[in-house]
């Protein structure tokens, strides 16, 4: 595992709409491995590799991982210099209180909650504020519209990896690794590092329109059912990448699901079948593009999604890279 790259990619600043830093990093990493690279109007980076094996006209296969992470945007600067904010993507107040946010220039802010009468009710986003240490509105260096990401350094412990933005920088990492290792693709492959997944899925939708793939697979994270009192869910950490059956935005196309199962079996890696009740991926948008794209998803099991400390297992990541590589180099039947 390339821990240095993983650290760079997870720690890069890139809330939805502000993915520049992540895109530049990925570009530097992949430019020598792609036949062609371009950026489209909403900022998705697409790295293309032409098919090198197989019979007849190659199919177009699009793999999508999103560069954007959730974050916050300043909505109001109070008289005393505290900042109020709105969520960029799905921010859960409970797991942010006491944590930190980071602006693009590196300034750190403490996220905390105002004192409330009813301390037993769950706080909402409007009860939270950000303290960057400013004394007043006039001396506060930030204004309405400024964007911050959250703070969560990368830690490896045994086979567990913990960081902010595993969703979906781990997907970006996987695609970069697959692209690096890819020798003789059996498809025309489009590696799409998408924008704005956490807010609108618009990066994936518009890229799907532009690329016109025959098949699309999103690489993202999914939840697990292996933590205390978790809602029943079959996926657990360390038992292999999860092949999506259904989530709240999409029912995977059976043919794509089958392709992924066969790739896992052929690579001899463990895998799990995933039904996710809350949450979706870029594939939900791509499947509806033009006259439809058979789509599926390969998920990295992840505990604590949308918290500062998203946790995945290195073996699941490695297995995902292996089975994807197998999939790309196996000619379709």
Partner 1 sequence: MDTLKLLKQLSEISGPAGYEHAVADALTHLWQPLADEVRTDAMGNVIALQYATGASNGEVNQRLMLAAHMDEIGLIVTGLEGEFLRIHALGGTDRRVLLGLEVDVHGREILPGVIGARPPHVLPAAERNRIPPWHELFVDVGLPAERVRELVRVGDYVTPRAPLRTLKNDRAAGKALDNRASVAAVTLALAELRRRQHAWDIYAVATIQEEVGTKGATTSAYGIAPALAVALDVTFATQHDDSAPGTFALGSGPTIGVGPNFHPEIVSRLKQAAEAEEIPYVIEPLPGSSGTDAWAIQLAREGIPTGLISIPLRYMHQPVELVDRKDIERAARLLARFASDLEADFRPHWEDEL
Partner 2 sequence: MNDTITYLETLSNAHGVSGAETQVRRVIRSLVQEHVDGVEVDAVGNLITWKSGTGSSRLRVLVAAHMDEVGFMVVGHTNDGALRFETVGGIPARILPGLTVLVGPDALPGVIGIRAIHRLKERKSTNQVPQVSDLAIDVGARDREEAQRLAPVGTTAVFATRFRQTDASCIGKAFDDRAGCATLVSLLRAPRFPFDLFGVFTVQEEVGLRGAQVASYRIKPDAGVTLEGTLADDLPKEDSDVSPTTALGQGPAITVMDRSYITPPRLLQHFTQVAEREGLPYQFKQPGIGGTDSGGIHRAGKGVPTITVAVPCRYIHSPASILRKHDLNAWGQLVDAALRSLTPDVLTPQLSE
Residues within the interface to partner 1 (CB under 8 A): 225, 231-234, 245-246, 249, 251, 253, 257, 273-275, 277, 287-288, 290-294
We find the least distance from the C-beta atom of residue 209 to partner 2, in angstroms, to be 6
Nearest CB to partner 1, comparing residues 119 and 333: 333
User: What track of x and - describes contact with partner 2 for positions 86 through 125 (by CB under 8 A)?
Assistant: xxx-------------------------------------
The answer to the question of residue 209 lying near partner 2 (CB under 8 A) is yes
**Segment lying near partner 2 (by CB under 8 A), choices 74-82, 220-228, 248-256, 325-333:** 74-82
CA dist., res. 31 & res. 9, Å (int): 16
Query: Quick check: 78 binds partner 2 (CB under 8 A)?
Result: yes
Taking the complex as a whole, the smallest distance from the CB of residue 75 to partner 2 amounts, in Å, to 5
44: number of CA atoms within 13 Å, CB side? Answer: 29
Q: How many CB atoms lie within 10 A of CB 234?
A: 14
Tell me the C-alpha distance between 51 and 46, whole Å.
16
- Sequence length of the chain is 333
Pick the binder of partner 2 from 1, 108, 199, 275 (CB under 8 A): 199
* Cα–Cα distance, 198 to 201 (Å, whole number): 7
216: β partners: 62, 295
Nearer Cβ to partner 2, position 148 or 223?
148
Out of 52, 143, 153, 254, the residue judged to bind partner 2 by CB under 8 A: 143
Distance CA 143, CA 136 (A): 12
- The answer to whether 20 contacts partner 2 (rule: CB under 8 A) is yes
- Mark out the alpha helices in 182-253 (DSSP H runs): 202-211
Report in angstroms how near the CB of residue 277 gets to partner 1 at its nearest.
6
At residue 175, φ and ψ (nearest 5 deg) are: -65, -40
What is the rounded distance in angstroms from the CA atom of residue 260 to the CA atom of residue 242?
10
Q: What gap in Å lies between CA 216 and CA 293, rounded to an integer?
A: 7
Find all residues with CB under 8 Å of 56, minimum gap 6, and list them: none
Q: Provide the pairing of β-strand 155-157 with 128-131.
A: unpaired
- Give CA–CA dist 28/21, Å, rounded: 11
Whole-number minimum distance, CB 232 to partner 1, in Å? Answer: 5
**Shorter beta-carbon distance to partner 2: residue 216 or 327:** 216
177 classed as catalytic: no
Other CB atoms within 10 Å distance of the CB of residue 86: 12
Nearer to partner 1, 134 or 252 (CB): 252
Consecutive H or E run containing 284: helix 283-286
CA–CA separation, 332 and 262 (whole Å): 11
Round to whole Å and give the CA distance between 278 and 249: 9
Does 76 help bind partner 2 (rule: CB under 8 A)?
Answer: yes
**What does 293 interact with, of partner 1, partner 2, none (CB < 5 to 8 A by kind)?**
partner 1
Least Å distance between CB 198 and partner 1? 19
Binding piece for partner 2, criterion CB under 8 A, among 82-90, 163-171, 230-238, 304-312: 82-90
Task: Give the Cβ contact number of residue 184 at 10 Å.
Answer: 12
The catalytically annotated residue of 19, 197, 274, 322 is 197
Decide which of partner 1, partner 2, none touches 199; Cβ closer than 5 to 8 Å per partner kind. Answer: partner 2
1, 5, 7, 27: which one contacts partner 2 (CB under 8 A)?
27
Our finding on whether 13 is near partner 2 (CB under 8 A) is no
Which residues of this chain interact with partner 2, rule CB under 8 A? 16-18, 20, 23-24, 27, 37, 39-45, 73-76, 78-79, 84, 86-88, 143-145, 196, 199-200, 202-203, 205-207, 209-210
Q: Give the residue numbers annotated as catalytic, written as ranges.
A: 197
């Amino acid at each position: 595992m390339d821990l240095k790259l993983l650290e760079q990619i997870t720690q890069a600043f890139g809330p939805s709409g502000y993915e520049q830093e992540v895109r530049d990093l990925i570009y530097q990493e992949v430019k020598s491995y792609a036949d062609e690279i371009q950026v489209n109007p909403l900022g998705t980076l697409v790295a293309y590799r032409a098919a090198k094996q197989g019979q007849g006209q190659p199919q177009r296969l699009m793999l999508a991982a999103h560069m954007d992470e959730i974050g916050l945007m300043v909505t109001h600067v109070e008289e005393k210099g505290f900042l109020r904010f709105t969520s960029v993507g799905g921010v859960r107040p409970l797991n942010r209180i006491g944590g930190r946010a980071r602006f693009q220039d590196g300034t750190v802010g403490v996220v905390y909650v105002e004192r409330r009468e009813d301390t037993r009710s769950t706080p909402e986003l409007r009860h939270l504020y950000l303290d960057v240490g400013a004394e007043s509105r006039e001396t506060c260096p930030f204004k309405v519209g400024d964007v911050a990401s959250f703070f969560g350094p990368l830690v490896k412990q045994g086979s567990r990896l913990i960081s902010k933005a595993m969703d979906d920088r781990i997907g970006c990492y996987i695609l970069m690794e697959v692209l690096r290792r890819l020798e003789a693709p059996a498809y025309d492959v489009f590696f799409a590092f998408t924008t704005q997944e956490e807010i609108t899925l618009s990066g994936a939708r518009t890229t799907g329109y532009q690329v016109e793939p025959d098949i699309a697979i999103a690489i993202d994270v999914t939840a697990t059912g292996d933590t205390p009192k978790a809602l029943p869910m079959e996926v657990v950490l360390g038992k292999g990448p999860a092949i999506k059956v259904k989530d709240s935005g999409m029912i995977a196309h059976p043919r794509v699901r089958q392709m992924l199962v066969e790739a896992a079996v052929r690579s001899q890696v463990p895998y799990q079948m995933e039904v996710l009740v809350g949450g979706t991926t870029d594939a939900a948008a791509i499947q509806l593009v033009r006259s439809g794209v058979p789509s599926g998803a390969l998920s990295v099991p992840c505990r604590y999604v949308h918290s500062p400390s998203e946790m995945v297992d290195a073996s699941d990541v490695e297995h995902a890279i292996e089975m994807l590589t197998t999939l790309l180099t196996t000619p379709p039947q």
